[in-house]
Structure 1
C-alpha cells in the first residue's frame, strides 16, 4: 500500500473549526494518556526509589494543567502537515503576454451605472 501524499495547501484559509476542535481533542487525549502512564510509573518507581517516584508523580500531577492550556490554544501559526505551494519565480508569468512582450498596466474604463431598488439600470447624469 502506498503512503498517502499530503495535500497541497494553495490558500491562506484557516482550517475548519470542526477539524481544529478534533485536533485539540486528540492532543488533550494524548497528553492525558501520558499523564496516566507517568502516574503508574511513579507508583512503580516509588517502591525502589522514593525521591524519583515523587518527581515523576509531581510531573504527572502538573501535566493536566498543561494539557488544558494546550487544548484551549488556538490553531497553530504554521503547520508542517500541509505542503505549501511556493511560486517558482518572482514576477514570472504562467502565460505569455498576447503581444509576446511585457504587458503594461491594464486600464478598464466603464460608464457610471446606477441600479435602483427595483433592479432597473439607469445611466448616471454627466
Structure 2
C-alpha cells in the first residue's frame, strides 16, 4: 500500500483514481500530476515503481496544498468569517446554509433532523 501525503492510497485502483483519496486532489489535479510525471492513467498503483511513488510524493508536497494544511486553511477561513461577524460567518455559527439556499423547506443536511413542535394540535371543529 502506497502512502502519499499521510494517506494510504488503494493499490488495486488506477493511479488517477487512487490519488483522489487524498483530500485536496480531485480528478483534474490527479490527471495533471500523472501528465507531469508522464505516468499513463491506465497504470495501477501496484504497478508503479518505488521511484515513481517517490516522484509523486515529492510533486504533491512541493506543488499542492493537501490534507492537514488544506483542512487547517479552510477551518481558519471559516473561523475568520465567524470572528468578523459578517453574514456568512453568522450562517456558519448557526449551522445554516451559507450560500443563499432556501431554509423554509429543505436544508436538512445543515439543520439536522426535523424536530416536531411540542403542544401543536389540529384545529378543533
TM over 0.5: no
**Which has the higher relative contact order, 1 or 2, with Cα contacts under 8 A spaced 6 or more apart?**
1
Instruction: Judging by fraction of residues, say which structure has more helix.
Output: 2
Normalising by structure 2, we get a TM-score of 0.24
- Higher Rg of the two aligned structures: 1
Normalising by structure 1, we get a TM-score of 0.24
